[in-house]
Copies of this chain bind each other. A is one copy, B any other.
Amino acid sequence: MKRIKVGVIGAGRIGKVHIENISVRIPTVEIVAVADTFVEEAKKVAEKFAIKSFMASYKEILSNREVAAVIICSPTNTHAQYIIESAQAGKHIFCEKPLDLSLEKIRTVLDIVAKAGVKLMVGFNRRFDPNFAKVQQIVRDGKIGIPHVLKITSRDPEPPPAEYVAASGGMFLDMTIHDFDMARFVMGTEVSEVYAKANVLINSAIGKAGDVDTAVTTLFFENGAIGTIDNSRKAVYGYDQRIEVFGSEGMVMIGNNTPDNHIYYNANGLHGPLPLHFFMDRYTESYAIEIQAFINAIMNDEDLPVTGKDGLMSVAIGLAAKKSAFENRPVKLSEIL
C-alpha cells in the first residue's frame, strides 16, 4: 500500500481530532511527527497513537524531508507564518480556519503558496458534514432550480469566555465565518453585499470586550439571491445548526442531529431529545471525512475541495459584516476586497 507521511503542528483539541481520525481511519497515512509548544501535549498524543516523534518546534517538522504534508492546528495568529514556511519547505498544507484575520496577510500567504506550487486546504469541516453536503448536492444538481433564498440558523450552546472573545476577531470572524463559507458553498455563487444587525443580549461582558452575541446577517449574492443568517452565542437547548435553500423549483432543508431518535409521550405532551450539544459531537463525522478528502487530493494530485480562495472570501465577508454592524449600513464586498 502506498503511504504518505505527514506532520501535525498543534496538539490541542482540534489537532487531536485530526490525529485520531488519521490514525484510526486512514491507513494510507503515517503521522511521523507532532509538534506543540506545550511539548507534554505533543508527547501524550504521540504515545497514544504510536507517532514516532514529538517536539516543541514546528520547524523540525518542516525540515523533515519525509514529511509530504502538514496539518496546521495552532492558534490563528500563527497560521500565516506556518503556512508560508511550510509552502517554502515544499509541504502540502491543511490549515484550520481562519487563515488570518487580515485580508492583506492572507493575500500574501496565497501568493507564496501559489508560487511554491503546493496545495493548501482550509479547514471548513462543515462542508463535509453529511447533512450540509446533501444540501449542497441537491442544489448543485439543480433539484431546487435557481436558488432564490438561503436561510442559515447557527447557534452555539454557550458563549466562549470573555478573554477568548477579545482575541477571536469577534463573532462574525470566529463563529459566523463558518456560515459565510457554508453560504458560498451551498449557493455556488459569490456574496456581493452584506448587512449585519447585531446586539449584546446574552452577556454584557461580551459587549465590554467589543463584541456581540446575537446577530442577523443579510447576504446579497451576485446572482440576485438573498440570504439570511441568524446567530446566537447561547441556545440553552444545545447546538442549533440548520440550513434551508429555496429556489424556483423547490426547497431543501436540513436540521440538527440528536443522540437518539426516541419520542416519549406522557399526559403532558410529546417529548424528544435535544440536538447534539456542540460541534465536537455534531461534526465528528465531518472532521474525519474532511481530512480524508485532503489526503485523497494530495495522494491523487487532484483539486482540493476547499481552497485558499475560500479561506480568503469567508474572512472578507466576515470583515464586511463587522463593518456593516458597526456602521449600520449595507457594505459591498468591493469595499473590503
Contact = CB atoms under 8 A, between A and B. Distances in A.
A297 interface: no
Interface in A172-205: 195, 197-199, 201-202
Contacts of A262: 131, 134-135, 138, 252-254
A259 interface: yes
For A27, A131, A235, A249, the residue with the greatest tally of chain B CB atoms inside 10 Å of its CB is A235
A214 interface: yes
Contacts of A153: 151, 244
Interface string A260-271: 111111110111
Contacts of A218: 195, 197, 216, 218, 228
A321 interface: no
Contacts of A144: 264, 266
A226 interface: yes
A155 B253 contact: no
A149 B237 contact: no
A210 interface: no
A114 B314 CA distance: 54
A246 B252 contact: no
Nearest to A200: B224
B267 A236 contact: yes
A160 interface: no
B261 A131 contact: yes
B249 A266 contact: yes
Interface in A227-285: 227-228, 230, 232, 234-237, 240, 244, 246, 248-257, 259-267, 269-274
Contact of A265 (B133, B198, B201, B237): B237
Interface string A133-168: 111001000011110110101010000000000000
Contact of A330 (B237, B248, B329): B329
Contacts of A256: 261
Given A138-B262, A228-B228, A236-B249, A270 B267 contact: no
